Amino acid sequence: MRKIVECVPNFSVGRDPDTIDAIAGAIKGVDGCRLLDVDPGYSTNRTVYTFVGDPESVIEGALAGARVARKMIDMRGHKGEHPRFGAMDVCPFIPVVGVTMDECVEISRRFAQKAADELAVPFYLYEQAAPAVYRCKLSDIRQGEYEGLAGKLEDPRWKPDFGPDTFVPEWGATATGARMFLIAYNVNLLATSNQAHRIALNLRETGRGEGSPGKLQNVQGMGWFVDEYDMAQVTVNLTDYKITPLHVVYEEVKKEAELLGLPVAGSEIVGLVPLESLLSAADYYIEKEGLFIYRENQKLRLAIERLGLNSIVPFRPEERIIEYITAEKPEEPLASMTTRAFIEEVASRSSAPGGGSVSAVCAAMGVGLGAMVAKLTYGVRKFENVQGHIQKVLPTLDSVTQQLIAMIDADTSAFNEFMDGLRMPQNTKEERRLRKEKMQNGLKTAIDVPLTTMRLGDLAWGPFEVIARYGNPASRSDTQVGAASLKSGIWGAYQNVLINMVDIEDGEYRQKTLEEAEKINQRAADKCDKVLSLLENRG
């Protein structure tokens, strides 16, 4: 599995396009780094950069940006709404794919060491990388901001983790470390900065201090006025969006604003956001408003509209959701072919694609027909009395169809793994052992893939019975063909399980797998008969 780390350095510059562009160019120029977002703020005089890469690349990308900041940013004249104490104010590393938090801690330490040595500036470690509890929170490290840093550096308790312990006026200091995904989120208010800050104090976890906590856990916040928007904002950092989600913050701000007679004018996300956080918001509004929405893109549209994320600039999911940006296009050469090209490829003088891929196609098309009939029933006025039944099965039919499409190429890939083992050398005892091990693993993969096709197809029989009972009667033949195709797809996948099982030497695996496959295959035959019978009885 590839390793992806996210890095979100915040630089104390938001009003100088040349410096902003120079930092962006330096990061983009590092091989292995992909710059995802540059978000400058004039009032905050701060720019948030978001980029991803493998562990080595993100270190070099962060270092490249820091080099430019060292040359082009001078903190002695810096002013802005956002708390800050350094030219590169903060530089967190976040695990995204195939990377642990411990690895990100090590990445932050290596970056801090390299940057401090090269640039001769102080670095503090925070969050998961912090060496002591009292300097774990960024707010504690940055307390007093740039103006109080010279005095802070004289305190032995605040000696930097890397770099000089003397004040570097043009730079200040930098905090770097490892943390979970943080969402920077602003709710817009037609209000004053004092009113916005009053709401923030009521909501943020620390509240007003002195034993007076706020309503929301894992929320840092304050209020300010943004001149370029001509609006105030409750600006928050969600340090754990699973504990306090986006929609909870938004709804709580609305409640507080209503008490003060203030209008809320949408919200904005600064930088990137995890897909789960927006889907969670969508699920909240779906339940609250009694809606039926199951497709991911429609859920996102709902969340964007309800949270008012288009209020300042258009929110484009493909540019702002971390999973969408970092996703690699699936390798599906067979599933991406035209129908003619796929059939001709099957008919060619080659053993792959073969029966396994064709079985996946049959199952996918069968379930797809079931989804089609459900969609031709849902929302039609004369079928209003069965809408509840259709709503329960439509998401499953749609989802299983998509999952079965992926199995078309998975089957061919599994066969290729076995063939790679077959081609391995067998001149020595060790080579023969490795070859046998590779081939046995390849056979298990070649079994697990069609077995997965069977399992997925098996999920559709319950929904098919519902479609047979309540589906649009004008699509009766489509339901019949769908059920028969699904049965054929499962039967074909079963035959692939059997033929690849012949040379399996693991007796326990063999028995367990065959028992499961036989049950699914028999159930397919029984369920298909039942679906066809239901259709016949409807007349």
What is the average per-residue pLDDT within 211-215? 88
Backbone phi and psi for residue 182, each to the nearest 5 degrees, phi listed first? -110, 135
Fold of the CATH domain 339-538: Four Helix Bundle (Hemerythrin (Met), subunit A) (1.20.120)
**Residue 457 pLDDT greater than 90, yes or no:** yes
Three-class DSSP category at 281: helix
Instruction: Give the 3-state DSSP-derived string for 63-91, with helices as H, strands as E and coil as C.
Output: HHHHHHHHHHCCHHHCCCCCCCCECEEEE
For the cut 80, the answer to whether the pLDDT of residue 417 exceeds it is no
Residue 440: pLDDT over 70 = yes
Tens of pLDDT, residue by residue over 461-474, are: 999 999 999 999 99
Q: 424 or 388, which is more confident?
A: 388
**Cα–Cα distance between 95 and 58 in angstroms, integer?**
11
Q: What is the dihedral of CA 504, 509, 511, 517, to 10 degrees?
A: -90
Residues 6+ apart with CB under 8 A from 243: 217, 218
Element (H, E) at 126: strand 123-127
Reported in sequence order, the residue ranges of 249-408 that DSSP labels E, i.e. its strands, are: 264-270
CA distance 257 to 266: 12
At residue 526, the pLDDT reads 97
The class level of CATH for 183-326 reads alpha beta
Q: What is the pLDDT of residue 323?
A: 85
Task: Return the ∠ at Cα 386 (arms to 380 and 490), rounded to 5°.
Answer: 100
Mean pLDDT of 236-243: 93
CB of 466 within 8 A of CB of 392? yes
Rounded mean pLDDT, 479-493: 98
CA angle 289, 290, 291 (to 5 degrees): 95
Please state, for a pLDDT cut of 90, what percent of the chain lies above it.
Answer: 81
Predicted local confidence at residue 406, as pLDDT: 93
pLDDT band at 539 (very low <50, low <70, confident <90, very high): low
Phi, psi of 492 (to 5 degrees): -65, -40
Query: Amino acid letter at 389?
Result: H
The answer to whether the predicted template modeling score (pTM) of the entire model surpasses 0.85 is no
Q: What is the pLDDT of residues 306-332, one digit of tens each?
A: 999 999 999 999 989 988 888 878 888
User: Each residue of 18-47: pLDDT tens digit?
Assistant: 999 999 999 999 999 999 889 999 989 999
User: Please, which residues have CB within 8 angstroms of residue 172's CB and are 6 or more apart in sequence?
Assistant: 12, 75, 84, 85, 86, 87, 89, 146, 149
Between CA 280 and CA 34 the distance in angstroms is 27
DSSP of 412-443: HHHHHHHHHHHTS--SSHHHHHHHHHHHHHHH
**Residue 456, pLDDT score:** 98
pLDDT in the model for residue 134? 92
Mean pLDDT, rounded, for 187-203: 97
In whole angstroms, what is the distance from residue 235 CA to residue 151 CA? 29
Q: Where do the structural domains in the chain lie, given as residue ranges? A: 4-178, 183-326, 339-538
What is the C-alpha separation between 506 and 516, in angstroms, rounded?
16
Model confidence pLDDT, tens digit, residues 335-355: 999 999 999 999 999 887 889
Active site members: 82, 411
pLDDT over threshold 70, residue 1 = no
pLDDT, tens only, 261-280: 999 999 999 888 989 999 99
Assess contact for 240 and 181: CB atoms under 8 A: no
* pLDDT for res 255: 98
CATH class of the domain whose range is 4-178: alpha beta
In 3-state terms the chain splits into helix, strand, coil percentages (rounded to 5) of 55, 15, 30
Distance CA 387, CA 377 (A): 8
Give the DSSP per-residue string, 154-198: TSGGG--SBS-SS--TTTB-EEEEE-S--EEEEEEESS-HHHHHH
Contact 92, 181 (CB under 8 A): no
Which residues fall within 8 angstroms of residue 36, CB to CB, at 6 or more apart?
50, 51, 52, 272, 322, 325
Q: Identify the weakest region by mean pLDDT among 88-102, 182-196, 250-264, 421-435.
A: 421-435
Categorize the per-residue pLDDT at 283 as very low, low, confident or very high, splitting at 50, 70 and 90: very high
Residue 413 pLDDT greater than 80, yes or no: no
Shared fold status for 183-326 and 339-538: no
Mean pLDDT of the chain: 94
Predicted confidence (pLDDT) per residue in 340-398, tens digit: 999 999 999 988 788 999 999 999 999 999 999 999 999 999 999 999 999 999 999 99
